[in-house]
A and B are shown apart, each in its own frame.
Chain A
Amino acid sequence: MEPASVRKHSLLSMIARNGGHGEHSPYFDGWKAYDRNPFHPTQNPDGVIQMGLAENQLSFDLIEEWIKNNPTASICTPDGVGKFKDVAIFQDYHGLPEFRQAIAKFMGRVRRGKVTFDPDRIVMSGGATGASETLIFCLADPGDAFLVPSPYYPAFDRDLRWRTGVRLIPFACDSTNNFQVTLAQMESAYAKAIEANINVKGVILTNPSNPLGINLSKETLTSLLSFTFEKNLHMVCDEIYSATVFKSPAFTSIAEVMQETECNPDLVHIIYSLSKDMGLPGFRVGIIYSYNDQVVNCARKMSSFGLVSSQSQHLLASMLSDEVFIEKFLEENSRRLGKRHSRVVEGLKQEGINCLEGNAGLFLWMDLRHLLKEPTPDAEMELWRVIIKDVKLNVSPGSSFHCPEPGFFRVCFANMDDHTVEVALQRIREFVSRGNKNGDDKKHWRKRDLRLSFTSRKCDESLISPRQIMSPHSPVPQSPLVRART
């Protein structure tokens, strides 16, 4: 707590001064290592491979082809430029009606037609980041809390808390039941919070889960929804990976469960985005879908702080309404994700490395507990530093996701081409075999100098070259990733 005199004389706000952005965390060392030495198949084959970025690059060739074949959708073509004037001045925070309709239809299609969405409940925001923050502003006041199962997406700590002043209370899921969320865990976490006099406003579920890459079952969702109904809590479901499911069980949305379970619709809200399912994070399309009219009203007004560019709305309205294309895209996207997932899982298995049985998402949850010198968070960090420094893979340590069990790592696989995947697997192969050759793996790590050497943790922006790409976790712009060409 800073002294009153600091606040009194400070030119900057507390928000600007505090560490709420989370970028002083040691986890960003991995990003920095990648940034200083990014992998490139020909120009820098020994560089660090980025496996910490959950971006879907496997299907943008399909998007590219569609754009080429549909010139009227873009205002930048002779066929489409006629719409430019109307699009350029359109700043109504309701959004283009055709855009909202297309999003509603698309969301319904992703849920295999089991639910229909009302376009009038679609509210835009600045990416999923903006959507989740805006929703929290609408639902909770400073000091209020949301329960969230861990491991969870690290940026929630920033996105949901920094400016809102809201708290997150994680409750741990563990490997004993494959990290499934259970009602018992939620009940227990809720009871503890109430005992500690914390004003719990709701629950946040990410389904499919980031970082686990698994769906919540219908039964689980039903029991959790009933619990929130009983306790009068908000149920916020982040479903931004809903179309990345590549094998069974099929995805069940909270919207579907609501139809079959007693609940209060005023308490149910969905966060959505096109960043993962369609691989379009650059378009900054975040969606809040709430069954609560007041929340829709409020969030819509707040959407002025993060409206989707009308140019993007116009293009996407067209693309998402093309049912033939969307059907093909969703199917092909799932197939490619599934294929890539299998390859990586198989490659890891050959080296004796297991992963959580996943069926969705752009990543897998890798189990390296057997490589830890002891089952502690420090040992996990030590192993992580070895992976970055020696194996040159930027994977994300479980502790960054608030996973209480050390030894798990999230590995992203959809942001690279096949060749890069093979290089990564080869490096793991060599790493494991080096470890085996040296006999006692655990002693081996202890002898190594595992500190990452940087002159300063602060990002030196003068070193950054012009073409940079940013990830939602990273504090620093990165060099272009190797694009998936398959």
Chain B
Amino acid sequence: MRLVVPLRGIVGGRGGLILGTFVPCALFCYLHIRRLRFLATRRVSERAEPIAKAEESPYYVGLGRVSQDPFDEVANPNGIIQLGLSENRLCLDLIEEWLSENLNGAMIGHGSDKGHLGIGGITGYQPHDGVTELKEAMAGFMSQVMGGEISFDPSRIVLTAGATPAIEILCFCLADPGDAFLVPTPYYPGFDRDMTWRTGVELIPVHCHSANNFILSIAALQQAFNQARKRGQRVQGILISNPSNPVGNLLPQKTLHDILDFARKKNIHIISDEIFAGSIHGNEEFFSLAKILDAENFDKSRAHILYGLSKDLSLAGFRVGVIYSYNDDVLAAAKKLTRFSSVSAPTQRLLISLLSDTSFIGRYLETNRKRIRKMYDIFVSGLKEIGVKYVDSSGGLYCWVDMSGLMHSHNVKEELELWDKLLNVAKVNATPGSACHSIEPGWFRCCFTTLSEGNIRIAIERIRKVAEMRKSSR
């Protein structure tokens, strides 16, 4: 009733008191009734409303624009070149070849199937978290991906319909609404949606800087944790991606040790998203969380690894994600939650065959790395030619490019203007760093594994034109 005082100033005495009481009450009732009416007519839930609104992040806007006007060398040479989707199309021919040679109607699976389940084996209900044979094959595959140095226990695997539900399920298991995860920036824009939409969980960015190659510092982690504590917010874990998306660097062994130590002291979880582990094209050594835990005497009960087949095997459409947890209680809960997101049975059948062919997989992984490297080399040499800087990366399907040289001033507004120019004038869709919560404006993630060599050169040329335009307009 803060209106009482000023009204008393306008209308003195008892009149003011009465008015000062009556008016706010009436206003309150009016607004309350309006809200009730609004709630009554509102068709979707409160939590769904923000989701239903159009996605405004440049990450999604860019993807949307490309789907309306996609570049095609022949059919649409003036279309938008897609550098915003970390998809790998370089080795699908290998899998296609394998399919032609190996499967021939394996969906029915008469000969290879024990118990002659035939098609009944794939039409019927399956364990929600995946059939045992696929878990075994997946454990073997993950081991191959990590260089054969670690063995994964199939009973610690929970299979989900893609990495997207995998991370959501893990959040549902580890955190309550209002709890938070610390996430080093820059990070994959999809985390904002996947981890928070329905869980009610929050993400606290922990900023990393170009000065130390975007490697997470424990001091920054500590500061973010303390600030959350002061606010009364419960931090339940740290999410790292390794190889990092969007930067493409690999976490050093020491950093992983420090993070594990930090997590132990604070009694919080550590989730390592290793979905690009098979896309490491550089020479740096990769340390999976599994490798560290295997070798050292770290407490494993709060450690979890996320994986999937969308990037390393290019099977994004098949929807196969993995939660690998060292915590039995989390495994038990996650398994129950997979009832909402299970892998389709025919896909499971196909993958059991594919992943079990270890010699093919070995050849595939090696060829995949070589082809990614080749494209990376072409892309970065193009950037060098046009004088654009980038971070040397060893993994992932993208390059973290510094386009601040093309900006008039060093802020997010300028970055978004540049993004807009690139998208709508140059017709190149790259993901601006602000969409990835980068603290330093001017960085862009450019994915190069959906393009042919020729198309990479076209993309570079288009960026060069923008660079020239920006220079001349200064």
In the complex, what distance in Å separates the CA atom of A451 from the CA atom of B327?
34
Q: Which listed residue, A16, A126, A283, A472, touches B341 by the CB 8 Å rule?
A: A126
Asked if B234 contacts A8 (CB within 8 A), the reply is yes
Contact residues in B for A163 (Cβ distance below 8 Å): 172, 198, 337, 340
In the complex, what distance in Å separates the CA atom of A294 from the CA atom of B341?
23
Residue A483 CB within 8 A of the other chain: yes
In the complex, what distance in Å separates the CA atom of A446 from the CA atom of B179?
52
Q: A76-B99, A78-B100, A282-B123 are in contact. Are A311 and B350 (CB under 8 A)?
A: yes
Asked if B345 contacts A298 (CB within 8 A), the reply is no
Contact residues in A for B327 (Cβ distance below 8 Å): 11
Residue B106 CB within 8 A of the other chain: yes
Asked if A12 contacts B333 (CB within 8 A), the reply is yes
Residue A315 CB within 8 A of the other chain: yes
In the complex, what distance in Å separates the CA atom of A279 from the CA atom of B344?
14
Residue A301 CB within 8 A of the other chain: yes
Residue B339 CB within 8 A of the other chain: yes
Residue B267 CB within 8 A of the other chain: yes
Closest residue of B by beta carbon distance from A274: B123
In the complex, what distance in Å separates the CA atom of A75 from the CA atom of B165?
25
Residue B174 CB within 8 A of the other chain: yes
Asked if B51 contacts A301 (CB within 8 A), the reply is yes
In the complex, what distance in Å separates the CA atom of A12 from the CA atom of B92?
39
In the complex, what distance in Å separates the CA atom of A87 from the CA atom of B315?
9
Residue A328 CB within 8 A of the other chain: no
B166 nearest CB across to chain A (Å): 10
Residue B73 CB within 8 A of the other chain: no
Contact residues in B for A15 (Cβ distance below 8 Å): 172-173, 176, 333
Asked if A283 contacts B344 (CB within 8 A), the reply is yes
Asked if A138 contacts B44 (CB within 8 A), the reply is yes
Q: A12-B173, A302-B198, A309-B343 are in contact. Are A469 and B165 (CB under 8 A)?
A: no
Stretch from A64-72, A222-230, A341-349, A367-375 at the B interface: A64-72
Query: A-B pairs with CB below 8 Å: how many?
Result: 267
Residue A193 CB within 8 A of the other chain: no
In the complex, what distance in Å separates the CA atom of A126 from the CA atom of B339?
8
Asked if B124 contacts A55 (CB within 8 A), the reply is yes
Q: Which listed residue, B55, B198, B236, B310, touches A137 by the CB 8 Å rule?
A: B198
Residue A447 CB within 8 A of the other chain: no
Contact residues in B for A475 (Cβ distance below 8 Å): 336
Asked if A304 contacts B43 (CB within 8 A), the reply is no
Asked if B174 contacts A11 (CB within 8 A), the reply is yes
Q: Which listed residue, A53, A281, A305, touches B164 by the CB 8 Å rule?
A: A305
Number of B interface residues in the complex (CB < 8 A): 88
Contact residues in B for A140 (Cβ distance below 8 Å): 45
1/0 contact string of B16-53 vs chain A (CB within 8 Å) = 00000000000000000000000011011111100110
Q: Which listed residue, B93, B127, B340, B346, touches A468 by the CB 8 Å rule?
A: B127
Asked if B172 contacts A81 (CB within 8 A), the reply is no
Q: A67-B107, A297-B52 are in contact. Are A60 and B176 (CB under 8 A)?
A: no
Closest residue of B by beta carbon distance from A78: B100
A367 nearest CB across to chain B (Å): 28
Q: Which listed residue, B40, B43, B161, touches A294 by the CB 8 Å rule?
A: B43
A249 nearest CB across to chain B (Å): 29
1/0 contact string of B89-101 vs chain A (CB within 8 Å) = 1001101100110
Closest residue of B by beta carbon distance from A163: B172
Asked if A81 contacts B105 (CB within 8 A), the reply is no
Residue A308 CB within 8 A of the other chain: yes
Asked if B51 contacts A89 (CB within 8 A), the reply is no
Q: A7-B176, A78-B104, A301-B51 are in contact. Are A472 and B120 (CB under 8 A)?
A: no
Contact residues in B for A481 (Cβ distance below 8 Å): 124
Stretch from B128-136, B370-378, B455-463 at the A interface: B128-136
Contact residues in B for A14 (Cβ distance below 8 Å): 176
Asked if B43 contacts A76 (CB within 8 A), the reply is no
Contact residues in A for B350 (Cβ distance below 8 Å): 76, 311
**CB neighbors of B among A447-486 (8 A):** 461, 466-472, 475, 477, 480-481, 483
Asked if A89 contacts B125 (CB within 8 A), the reply is no
Contact residues in A for B92 (Cβ distance below 8 Å): 84-85, 88-89
Asked if B319 contacts A307 (CB within 8 A), the reply is yes
Asked if A60 contacts B120 (CB within 8 A), the reply is yes
Contact residues in A for B329 (Cβ distance below 8 Å): 11-12, 16
In the complex, what distance in Å separates the CA atom of A9 from the CA atom of B236?
10
In the complex, what distance in Å separates the CA atom of A201 from the CA atom of B43?
9
In the complex, what distance in Å separates the CA atom of A11 from the CA atom of B344?
31
Stretch from B111-119, B222-230, B248-256, B276-284 at the A interface: B111-119
Asked if A88 contacts B132 (CB within 8 A), the reply is no
Asked if B125 contacts A129 (CB within 8 A), the reply is no
Number of A interface residues in the complex (CB < 8 A): 88
**CB neighbors of A among B312-360 (8 A):** 314-319, 327, 329-330, 333, 336-337, 339-347, 350
Residue B202 CB within 8 A of the other chain: no
Closest residue of A by beta carbon distance from B117: A480
Asked if B125 contacts A55 (CB within 8 A), the reply is yes
Residue B302 CB within 8 A of the other chain: yes
In the complex, what distance in Å separates the CA atom of A468 from the CA atom of B117?
11
Asked if A77 contacts B114 (CB within 8 A), the reply is no
Residue B364 CB within 8 A of the other chain: no
Q: Which listed residue, A71, A309, A466, touches B344 by the CB 8 Å rule?
A: A309
Asked if B119 contacts A64 (CB within 8 A), the reply is yes
Asked if A483 contacts B120 (CB within 8 A), the reply is yes
Asked if B319 contacts A305 (CB within 8 A), the reply is no
A261 nearest CB across to chain B (Å): 19
Q: A281-B124, A305-B340, A480-B117 are in contact. Are A11 and B197 (CB under 8 A)?
A: no
A113 nearest CB across to chain B (Å): 27
Asked if A284 contacts B99 (CB within 8 A), the reply is no
Residue B391 CB within 8 A of the other chain: no
In the complex, what distance in Å separates the CA atom of A189 from the CA atom of B76?
60
B124 nearest CB across to chain A (Å): 5
Asked if B317 contacts A88 (CB within 8 A), the reply is yes
Asked if B127 contacts A477 (CB within 8 A), the reply is yes
Q: Which listed residue, A64, A75, A294, touches B99 by the CB 8 Å rule?
A: A75
Q: Which listed residue, A63, A84, A279, A311, touches B95 by the CB 8 Å rule?
A: A84
Asked if B103 contacts A77 (CB within 8 A), the reply is yes
B180 nearest CB across to chain A (Å): 13
B462 nearest CB across to chain A (Å): 24
Residue B194 CB within 8 A of the other chain: yes
In the complex, what distance in Å separates the CA atom of A394 from the CA atom of B341?
27
Contact residues in A for B174 (Cβ distance below 8 Å): 11-13, 16
Closest residue of B by beta carbon distance from A8: B234
Residue A91 CB within 8 A of the other chain: yes
Q: Which listed residue, A84, A310, A466, touches B132 by the CB 8 Å rule?
A: A466
**Chain A residues close to B by CB (< 8 Å):** 7-9, 11-16, 21, 23, 53, 55, 57, 60, 63-64, 67-68, 71, 74-78, 81, 84-85, 87-92, 126-127, 129-130, 133, 137-141, 144, 159, 163, 201, 232, 234, 266-267, 279-284, 292, 294-295, 297-298, 301-302, 304-312, 315, 461, 466-472, 475, 477, 480-481, 483
Q: List 21 A-B residue pairs with CB atoms under 8 Å apart, sorted by A's residue number.
A: A11-B174, A13-B174, A15-B173, A16-B173, A16-B329, A60-B123, A67-B107, A78-B104, A88-B314, A127-B342, A163-B172, A283-B346, A295-B52, A304-B164, A306-B341, A311-B347, A466-B132, A466-B133, A467-B115, A469-B127, A472-B125
**Chain B residues close to A by CB (< 8 Å):** 40-41, 43-48, 51-52, 55, 67, 87, 89, 92-93, 95-96, 99-100, 103-108, 114-115, 117-128, 131-133, 155, 161-162, 164-165, 168, 172-176, 179, 193-194, 197-198, 234, 236, 267, 269, 301-302, 310, 314-319, 327, 329-330, 333, 336-337, 339-347, 350
Q: Give 15 A-B pairs besides A297-B52, A306-B165 with Cβ atoms closer than 8 angstroms.
A: A11-B329, A133-B340, A137-B47, A144-B45, A267-B43, A283-B346, A292-B44, A298-B51, A304-B165, A305-B198, A308-B344, A309-B319, A312-B344, A461-B155, A480-B121
Top 6 closest pairs, chain A to chain B, by CB: A310-B317, A282-B345, A16-B333, A309-B344, A298-B52, A91-B316
